[in-house]
Amino acid sequence: MKIILFSRRQLDHTAEEIVQLFDAIARFGFDYAVNAEFAAFVREAAGIAVPDEKTYAEEVGPQPADAVMVCYGGDGTLLEGVHRLRGAAIPVMGINAGHLGFLTTAPSAGLDLIFGEIAAGNIATEPRTMIRVEGDFAEQPDSLVALNEFTIERHGAGMISVETYVDRQMVATYHGDGVIVSTPTGSTAYSLSAGGPVVAPTCACLVLSPLAPHNLTMRPVVIPDSSVITLHVHARRADAFVTLDNRTYPIETGAAFTVKRADRPIFLAVPHNISFYDTLRNKMMWGIDIRS
């Protein structure tokens, strides 16, 4: 079995944590590959030399059928790891070394338990909807899919307008800071901070959430994930940009985009006994009595 390890050097990993991580991989006899920038950091911080043949760059490339990607960090780390898979059907496990962590639910303190479960084949997976975006990017992305969301946003002080259609039926023109198209997985990310609903990650839907709308009656809308969303951008007095998860691209006024469910889902590995609802309660402190 092979571990495709992904992490980012800007995270606050200690030398002790890195040594524990690589010791656990070795103890269970996994083959492994590490993204090149993290491999360089591992050598600098912990003195562990990762052979060149065990590194990968911007794309993971072909891997054995039993490979598992392990993203060590926060949700942003997992999103970047998924991006490097380029749609490969490799399950993704997130080990939380960050903060909130709706995607990276496995605790970093239990590395032996996590890798033991992977070695024994006891990791369950959930298919998570991804979205595919096509349109007028000023700079063509290397990947057109996103796990969390696609956003159109203003840059600067001026308001933008986003004319929005679902299956060729007009929903609204969002005047304000922009709009978010979120997957169920992304409902607890940017969309949530914009007032969008919390959606169970296995629901077959997408969410449209306006960003700081000029018209205060504007509210998020939940639509079937079989829908095709079309967005036209008007930004006469402001610059605008779009994001695919944590990747940002400039656009010009008049740009148009089409968003729909991607052909393939990503398979997110979930630890036993940690449900989505457990994560909601623990991360958002639901049910905590703060009256005393």
Q: List residues with catalytic annotation.
A: 75
> Contact, 184 vs 205, CB < 8 A?
yes
And the tokens for 86?
Answer: 């380029």
Q: Rounding to the nearest 10 degrees, give the CA dihedral for residues 175, 177, 178, 181.
A: -130
HSE-up (13 A, CA, CB side) for residue 54: 18
- At 249, which amino acid appears? Y
Beta pairing class for 131-135 and 124-128: unpaired
C-alpha 86/C-alpha 7 separation (Å) is: 17
Q: How would DSSP label each residue in 91-104?
A: -EEEEE-SSS-SS-
E strand residue ranges, the chain: 2-6, 31-35, 55-56, 68-73, 92-96, 106-107, 124-128, 131-135, 145-146, 149-155, 160-166, 169-176, 178-182, 205-211, 221-224, 229-234, 239-244, 247-251, 256-261, 266-270
Give helix 15-27 / helix 36-46 axis angle, nearest 10°. 110
C-alpha 224/C-alpha 181 separation (Å) is: 12
